[in-house]
Amino acid sequence: MTDRCVLVLLDRPGWAPPGVDAQAWRRALAEDVVDLLAPLAEVDVALAATAADRPLAEDIRWPTTPVYEVTAARPVAALTAVARAGYRQAAVLPADLPDLPALLIGKLFRALSDRAVAAAPRLPDRADLAALASRLPVPEWLVTADPALTGTDQAGLRAAGRTVPDAPPHGDVAACPGWHRLRGPADLTRLDESLEGWEATRALLATGSVR
C-alpha cells in the first residue's frame, strides 16, 4: 500500500452515442479508465461505487483492485472512504475519460505538495471537472461543499469553499491541466487515435457508424 490512491468513480455517463447500448457504453468507458490506471507505479488504484453499481465494479476491476462502496457517487464520499483506509492523498476521476494520459495523474499529486486540493477541468469548456484530488483527511470545507464532478468548475469549487466558515484562501485549490470527457457527440472527435489504450471504447465505436 502506498499513501496515494486514484479512484474511478462509477457515476453514470450523461450520454451514449446513437445506436450504442447505454449499458455497454458505460461499461466500456469505465473498463478503459481502470485499465489505463491499473499499471501506474507509486499509486494504488481503486473503484468507488454505490451498492447498485457494485456488480459493474466487480466485473471490470483488476484482481488487485479494491472496491469502496459509497452511499452516493460523489467525490467527497469516495475520498472519505479511502481516508478511512489510511491513505494520505487521493484523486477521484469520472468513468468517462478513457484516453486520459497517465502523466496528468502525476500532476494532480504534485499539486498537493503545497495545496490541500487540486482540480483539473473538463476541456474544452471547463464546465465540469475531469479530476478532483485532495489531501486526506478531506478538508472540512470540501466536505461541506460536497462538489460533484459534473456541474462544478474550478471557479465554482473555489467559490463554494469561500461560503464555508473558516474556509481556506482562494489559492488553496490548485489548478491542473485538464482533459476531455465523453459527454456528447463533439467529444468523440477529441479522442486521440495515436494514444494507446481505450480498447473497449474503440471496439464499441467500431461496431457502428458513430464517428
DSSP conformation letters of 107-161: HHHHHTTT-SEEEEEEETT--SEEEEEEESSPPHHHHHH---SSS--HHHHHHHH
Please, are residues 57 and 44 in contact by the beta-carbon 8 Å criterion? no
Using alpha carbons, list the distances in angstroms from residue 103 to 12, 77, 95, 161, 199: 25, 25, 17, 27, 19
CA pair distance 206, 203, nearest whole angstrom: 5
Q: Is the pLDDT confidence value at 181 over 60?
A: yes
Residue-wise pLDDT tens digits, 153-162: 888 888 776 6
Cell of 151: 456541474
- Residue written as cell 469553499? 161
Please report, for the domain that includes residue 129, its CATH number. 3.90.550.10
Range of the domain at 205: 4-209
Strand partners, 150: none
**Omega before residue 63 within 30° of 0, cis:** no
Of 46 and 168, the structure prediction assigns the larger pLDDT to 46
Position 211 scores a pLDDT of 44
- The mean pLDDT value for 98-115 works out to 94
Cell of 85: 483506509
Residue-wise pLDDT tens digits, 19-77: 899 999 999 999 999 999 999 999 999 999 999 999 999 999 999 999 999 999 999 99
- The mean pLDDT value for 75-82 works out to 98
Task: Output the average pLDDT for the chain.
Answer: 91
Using alpha carbons, list the distances in angstroms from residue 1 to 43, 151, 155: 8, 33, 34
CA pair distance 133, 114, nearest whole angstrom: 13
**Domain total of the chain:** 1
